[in-house]
Amino acid sequence: MCFCASFVNEASQKPKGVLYAVPAASYDTEVERFIDHVTTSEVALTGFRLVKLKRLLILTVS
C-alpha cells in the first residue's frame, strides 16, 4: 500500500513533459498556469498531514 501511495507524487509530475512540448501557436496563459501549478504544487498522500508519502521516504524506511 505504501509503495503504491508513493507513485502519486511521481504520476503528478508526468504532465510536465507534455506541457513543455506544447507548440508556441497553442501556448497561452492557461498552459502557463498549468505548468506553474504542476511544477510548484506538491502532490502526495499524507499520513494525517504529518508525513508525505514519497518514494524516497518509502525506500529510506524499508
pLDDT tens column, 6-60: 677 778 888 999 999 999 999 999 999 999 998 888 777 767 777 777 666 666 6
Q: Per-residue confidence at 61, pLDDT binned at 50, 70, 90?
A: low
Q: How far is CA 60 from CA 2, 45, 52, 54, 57, in A?
A: 12, 17, 13, 10, 5
Give the model's pLDDT for residue 21.
95
Say which amino acid occupies 50: L
